[in-house]
Amino acid sequence: MKKVLPVFCIICLLLPAMLSSQKNQSKEMEVPHTAIEKNREKSGKVESIGEPGKDEKTSMNINVDATMLYGQFNSLFWSGSILQNFDTFTYQLNSKFSYSNDFGYKNTRYYDNEIGFTGVADVTNAWKLTPELTVNNASHGMYRNPYYYSEDKDKVYLMFRNEYRLQPNRWDINVGGIYFSHRLDSSLFPMIDTVQPYHSSDFYKGIADLGWEYVWSAANKLRFDSKFSHYFYSTGADNDTAVANQLIWNFNISEYFKFGLGPLYTYNRDRGNFISGKIDAATANLKYVAVSASYVYELVPFTPENYYFDQKFVRPCYSLSPGEGHRAELSLDIDYAVSGIGALYVKKVKVKASGTYTTNDRYNSYFSLPQLILAPHQMKVMQCRAKAEGGIGFAIYSSYLEFGGKYEYTYSYASGYVTYQPEHMASGYLHLAVHRFEFQFSTGFRSKIYASPFINLTMARSLTGSFTLQFKVMGSFYLYGRIDNIYDSRYSTVYGYPEPGRTFMGGLRIMI
């Protein structure tokens, strides 16, 4: 299995060269990725994905956006994106890298890396192939932990998506997998708690998806989806298998209202067979407003590749069972954009609001082990969550001003304290573009959070902010500066481990 994955990666990277030579297809591709979809125009022109207020159109079929920064604590930051389209093939390469030495505390250095490739190819008039590859690496020093020196994580995601459109049918066949690796380095303390220098584990996940859609009219369609996954663990945990199937009938009740419902069947090795259903309703054909509501009784799978990669300083346990529960959602989305004229006019208005009610009898929380690392703890929970966000943009002569914010409230009723989930979260931003200058200020607030599901152990509330300044020197060449944590707040995202204080960085940005 370890030899097969690099072969898939090489094939994925060679696909652009093999497929770009096909010039006999002229059909416009429907790309599920926003950046690719925005930049593949019939005229062959590419529009920049930069911030509002810029005119970055070019007659070339390539788009490049790269930022290089260096700053305090010998910190480095790189972000780059290349997007190019041909007659029958479009691809996008992304990379992101951040590194810092000890940021005012001993053994706090870290790095986070990400590289990604996405391509969309029209193999035939009816067949569209989308290969995807993403590689993530992360390493964090563990401060004053007397047992472990650092935590290292790797995740590789590879997927080949195939779409066949044979009207009135549409088929989706996806095949791929995930590799995840986790390691706690105790090489500096070989006689404490272990005689082995590392605590490491990894697993492979195989994925196969099948989708079928039958459209017999503009107002009626039938959709079937089947998803299969299997985990191969290197530890003593039993290999896990999961299958999820759903059959959904979507139909329009009127010109402005659509409805969907159908049964769900799920199988998981840890919880056996599970039969349920899903229902949803939404508005249709409204220019600026979208309203939707849904309800599902579901078996929520445990996905260790996300659960353990997204959280720092954990010791994985892979034998966790999925949770059973209800989920109801209601959302409102208003999106208004114009290209008006005049000295002053409203260019953009965006408003989003949503409410969610969920229950889960196997909710995965965290608790701290004596080694000062986190471990999962399953508990019953009921949560009500409300989100609201909005923004408004003004065109003022040749300048642009936009400001907005968002707020999230979460109420939890559980058999213990829900850890690392604040009750209140709020943020706001202000973006101003004047001639060659662009400024952006953002700030965020997080209420206190619980650090243990068993006792009333909390982490203090935090207030953070950042400021960026961009100056256009000439053409596509910019000077760029950034200040993070401008209030120099002392806060943590994991109990006992500090986050960086105020940090200054500066460098270059190039957009073509």
Is 304 a member of any domain?
yes
**Tokens 């968002």 belong to residue:** 406
Element (DSSP H or E) covering residue 11 = helix 4-19
Strand partners, 338: none
Q: Which residues form the domain of 209?
A: 145-317
Residues 321-368: tens digit of each pLDDT: 999 999 999 999 999 887 777 778 899 999 999 999 999 999 999 999
Helices (H) and strands (E) in the chain, counts: 3, 26
Q: How far apart are CA 324 and CA 272, in angstroms?
A: 12
Q: Which residues pair with 273 in a beta bridge?
A: 267
pLDDT tens column, 167-186: 899 999 999 999 999 999 98
Number of domains in the chain: 1
Residue 508 maps to a domain: no
In a domain, 178, yes or no: yes
Question: Do the domain assignments include residue 9?
Answer: no
Locate tokens 């003004």: which residue? 394
Q: Is residue 283 part of a domain?
A: yes
The pair of structure tokens assigned to 315 is: 């010791």
pLDDT at position 249 over 60: yes
What's the predicted TM-score (pTM) here? Answer: 0.84
Provide the token pair at 354: 């949503």
Question: pLDDT band at 44, cuts 50/70/90?
Answer: very low
Residue 352 carries which DSSP code? E
* Tokens 């152990």 belong to residue: 457
Question: Are residues 89 and 83 in contact, defined by beta-carbon separation less than 8 angstroms?
Answer: no
Q: Does the residue 359 lie in any domain?
A: no
Distance from C-alpha of 319 to C-alpha of 231, rounded to nearest angstrom: 11
Average pLDDT taken over every residue of the chain? 87
- Of 450, 114, 98, which is closest to residue 309 (Cα–Cα)? 114
Residue 402: helix, strand or coil by DSSP? strand
Query: What pLDDT score was predicted for residue 36?
Result: 56
Q: What is the pLDDT of residue 154?
A: 97
Predicted local distance difference test score (pLDDT) of residue 42: 38
- Asked if the structure places residue 410 within a domain, the reply is no
Residue 420 lies in a domain: no
Quote the tokens at residue 259.
């409805």
pLDDT in tens, 371-394: 899 999 999 999 999 999 999 999
Contacts of 341 (CB under 8 A, 6+ apart): none
